[in-house]
Amino acid sequence: MTDISNRTAFITGGANGIGLGIARAFAEAGCKLALADLDAAALEAAKKELSAKTEVATFVLDVRDRESFARVADEAEAALGPVSVVVNNAGVGGGAPAAKLTFEHWDWVMGINVNGVINGVQTFLPRMAERGKGGHIINTASGAGLAIAGTGVLYHTSKYAVVGMSEALRVELEAHKIGVSVLCPGPVATDIVKRSYADRPDAPANLSEKERKFAEESAERVSQILSQSTPPEDVGRMVVEGVKRNQLFIHTDRIMVPFIEERTRVLLEAMPPEKKSA
């Protein structure tokens, strides 16, 4: 999609962090914005800022709620016209050590990081395909969806799912002239760790006080690292360029290169030997 001006972009998690950075970049590119988020105050602030550059509509939305997603989609298109750029960006981090996870933790992370993406695709894709005017879907995964880099089994699981879904979608949607990109950011200067820690289900009761303290201190250390990482606005510009070029993968840095190389090596070495012809 080389020309995205005058398109309507629907962005989940659009009032904070990477989502807001993407919203700013799409506004600069001339897109109308439908921003969805759970944070009503942040939505209000985003609308006040971005309305100076483009038309903006905001919606409080839990991406796990399919009925609300459909209602918000209708309202967004009534206000701004057909949505042809969908950014499934809402996501959370966090969890617990694998042996301490609960079903509640799994349901929370997978519900937002995976089902939220599914709900966004399933809500808008049939509309886009029926209109026959093309479009683009961007799903936010992570470098953690490409190789194991120590961010925990729960987070890795959710992000691997988004990467696989995006790769498969891209193949199927070529016939509809709908592009698909998967954003796989490395460290980005957002407060996702703190917000996820505050919003997550209660920590498992079987965590010891020492384990609980370690988790809190780790979250604080990661937050400090993130604060000095790639700015969300830079990520937003990368996404806009990725959409214009119809890139499958959008990376923000090269931090995952050694992990991807090691995973590739292990995968290839596990292949059975080639059969020799008779």
Assess contact for 96 and 118: CB atoms under 8 A: no
Per the structure block, which two tokens stand in for 1? 């999609």
Stated pTM of the model: 0.89
Measured distance CA(202)–CA(218) in Å, rounded: 17
pLDDT tens per residue across span 243-274: 999 999 999 999 999 999 999 999 999 999 99
State the catalytic residue, choosing from 155, 179, 180, 239.
155
Mean pLDDT, rounded, of the chain: 90
> Is 160 a catalytic site residue?
no
Q: Does domain 8-269 have CATH number 3.40.50.720?
A: yes
Measured distance CA(173)–CA(178) in Å, rounded: 5
Q: How many CA atoms lie within 13 A of 129 on its CB side?
A: 12
Supply the pLDDT for residue 212.
60
Cα angle vertex 140, ends 134, 145, to 5°?
125
Q: What are the beta bridge partners of residue 125?
A: none
pLDDT tens per residue across span 33-90: 999 999 999 999 999 999 999 999 999 999 999 999 999 999 999 999 999 999 999 9
- Which residue type sits at 205? A
pLDDT tens per residue across span 191-237: 655 565 556 666 555 556 765 655 554 555 544 555 557 999 999 99
What is the SS3 assignment for 157? Answer: helix
Domain regions of the chain by residue span: 8-269
Q: What are the beta bridge partners of residue 250?
A: 183
